[in-house]
Structure 1
Amino acid sequence: MVAPAWAPLVAVEPGAGRSLTTRHSRLAWPLSPDPVVTKYFDAPETPFGPGHRGVDLAAVPGQDVLAADTGVVVFAGLVGGRPVLSVDHDGGLRTTYEPVAPKVAVGEQVYRGQVLGTVLAGHPGCAVAACLHWGVRRGEEYVDPLALTGEVGEYRLKPWGGGR
């Protein structure tokens, strides 16, 4: 049984096996084996404000990029001169991967774990041979992809409206 997009995530203690998080996660990792996060999500405070609208994952050039869930490819092309691939999923989620050499076409149905393309070198700010930038939106709101894998990301508390 697949949990709906709104289902709460299962809490897992640090160091616990990932088999628990994989079974209950909304999204699967887009790289295998599970990658090292080189840069965490940093939500922008305004729609066009600064931030990091996804996570950067350590990879090697030519490594397979996997669909995080079943969906439909809605974009495969250049954005700002960089090759980007986007997939729409149930529950209003859209995952985006870059830089990727696509092996799928717009309109194609893809399945969780299916190869979408391969990682290309050249992601700005990447400190290793290659990084995959993985972003997730729910509607127009960017969300932390790690929260949807069941992993713990870096979190910062923000003031609760009109605070002191």
Structure 2
Amino acid sequence: MGPITTISAVLSTMFLAAPSPVASDGDFDWPLQPRPSVVRPFDNPEHDWLPGHRGVDLAGSDGQTVLAAGDGVVVFAGSVADKPVISIDHPGGLRTTYEPVSPAIPLGRRVTRGTPIGTLRPGHPPCSPCLHWGARRDREYLDPLGLLRHTPVRLKPLTPEPPHG
């Protein structure tokens, strides 16, 4: 395998393994700090009626502050099936959801990335306490990890450069 083929294979693997972008401006960040581990990844089913995991579960702790992942407006702050949920609408038809999160911000409030919006509560099995973070554009569920800013890819030589003499 030559250097061009190797670089092509590495780049293909990196881009296929990376979450697909869902926002063009990169103005989103993790809703928990410090950066949490992903306990359960996004698993979009082939059809709307099939089971899946329409979001990601992020490791957290009971009472931990949950932050708005991006700029938007709080459009829901209440209970769904006895779980506290917050939803934020962002430009371009994007909505992010956070559960189980006790709201600390009123409905209709404009927020910016990093604004505290509530506190994480237990009640999301099997990883309780953890944050279930979801995203959708209109009616299509998206992998919220695709919203995050990623470090740019930097290519390095496969072999060390010969010494200059």
Same fold (TM over 0.5): yes
Contact 2:27 2:113 in 1 (8 A): no
Q: Which amino acid aligns with 2:49?
A: F
**SS state at 2:88 partner:** strand
Shift of the 138–122 alpha-carbon distance from structure 1 to 2, 3 Å rule, reads: same
The alpha-carbon deviation at position 25 of structure 1 amounts to: 2.7
Is 1:35 the counterpart of 2:36? The answer is yes
Q: Which amino acid aligns with 1:116?
A: I
- 2: CA distance between counterparts of 1:82 and 1:75? 13
Consecutive unaligned residues in structure 2, runs of 5 or more: 1-13, 15-24, 151-165
The normalised TM-score by structure 2 is: 0.73
- 2: CA distance between counterparts of 1:121 and 1:134? 14
**SS state at 2:33 partner:** coil
Residue 93 of structure 2 aligns with which residue?
92
- 2: CA distance between counterparts of 1:138 and 1:149? 15
Q: Which amino acid aligns with 1:95?
A: T
**SS state at 1:124 partner:** coil
Give the greater-gyration-radius structure (CA). 2
- 2: CA distance between counterparts of 1:125 and 1:101? 19
Consecutive unaligned residues in structure 1, runs of 5 or more: 1-12, 14-23, 152-164
The alpha-carbon deviation at position 124 of structure 1 amounts to: 1.4
Residue 104 of structure 2 aligns with which residue?
103
The alpha-carbon deviation at position 26 of structure 1 amounts to: 4.1
Q: How much identity, in percent, do the aligned residues show?
A: 57
Alignment of 1:1-164 (within 5 A): 25-126=26-127, 130-150=129-149
- 2: CA distance between counterparts of 1:53 and 1:142? 6
- 1: CA distance between counterparts of 2:95 and 2:42? 16
The alpha-carbon deviation at position 45 of structure 1 amounts to: 1.5
- 2: CA distance between counterparts of 1:26 and 1:137? 16
Q: Which amino acid aligns with 2:31?
A: P
Q: Which amino acid aligns with 1:136?
A: A
Contact 2:83 2:123 in 1 (8 A): no
The normalised TM-score by structure 1 is: 0.74
- 1: CA distance between counterparts of 2:35 and 2:142? 19
Aligned length: 129
Q: Provide, for residues 92-114 of structure 1, a one-character-per-residue CA deviation record: whole Å limited to 9, x for no partner.
A: 11000000010011111111100
RMSD: 1.9
**Higher share of residues assigned helix:** 2
